[in-house]
Structure 1
């Protein structure tokens, strides 16, 4: 299997883990009754780690569709090379590092890690242009 597809599969797993982590932290803050209910009530915004994990997930979801499309296109068009392999790996590993950095509220380094993930995504895009 091409490395781009392996990194896509691992990125899907990371996204699911991020969703589950966010759900657990949100449930801890809002309670089980909220989680299993209809969620019709207007609640105050999340705070602390739960809020940061939720924002981190939203950030992941902003780039993941582009990464998935680019990884699939690179493989389908047989455009994969060392650059796309490195790009896919950078995207995944940077996104993995981003989760705890954002959850912990680490400034600057978090932004650098995000930039590395974007660079990885751009490596895939450039192979398609």
Structure 2
């Protein structure tokens, strides 16, 4: 699951793939040139190519960068202040990932598929 805000829109996308429990996996997501791509263990599993624009800075926004949490309901739940007719966000969202996250990295550019595969191969257990 990855959410990216641009100057004109917000894109919420996921890989549509469940991972087995009790196993470590290398998970990566990239955003750039209108594409949002998900990788698991160095392999591309899903590509969304309808996400135009550049990622907007979160500096000065009322929320922080979040890992392992679905939308925080107090920031994203539909209300009279943030209601969009075609994009109502369910109030029940806001759950947390149940597991461990390790060695999280953020790059200032979208990595290519071969770069992600190389990182996975160098660091896999």
Whether TM-score is above 0.5 comes out as no
Q: TM-score, normalised by structure 2?
A: 0.22
TM-score (norm 1): 0.22
Q: Greater helix share, 1 or 2?
A: 1
Larger Cα-atom Rg: 1
User: Of Structure 1 and Structure 2, which has the larger fraction of its residues in strand?
Assistant: 2
Instruction: Tell which has more relative contact order, 1 or 2 (C-alpha 8 A, sep 6+).
Output: 1
